[in-house]
Amino acid sequence: PRCGDPLAGSPNLTQSRHSLHLGDCLAALARYDRERRRDLGLAAERLRLARRHLGRITGHVGAEDVLDIIFRDFCVGK
């Protein structure tokens, strides 16, 4: 497993950026829980953000990340 043996207890996050992303993921999930009965669109966005933060820890890069870099670094359309 990437983060250690789940039977041995919670994994240690050795990099501060992992801790930050995990905290942001947990915050997004808490906001999802508050919004899921009021606004399904906002709730879905919170889940997307939570998944994105987990992806930053695991190394998963999605199409959205690539587009963000292209528009940020190459100034397409300016």
pLDDT in tens, 28-76: 999 999 998 999 898 899 988 998 898 888 888 777 776 676 667 775 5
Question: What DSSP letter does each residue of 26-64 carry, written as one string?
Answer: HHHHHHHHHHTTT-HHHHHHHHHHHHHHHHHHHT---HH
In sequence order, the 6+-apart residues with CB closer than 8 A to the CB of 66 are none
Q: Looking at the predicted structure, is the pLDDT value of residue 17 above 90?
A: no
Question: Each residue of 65-76: b (16+ CB within 10 Å) or e?
Answer: eeeeeeeeeeee
Give the torsion sign (CA, 50, 53, 57, 59): positive
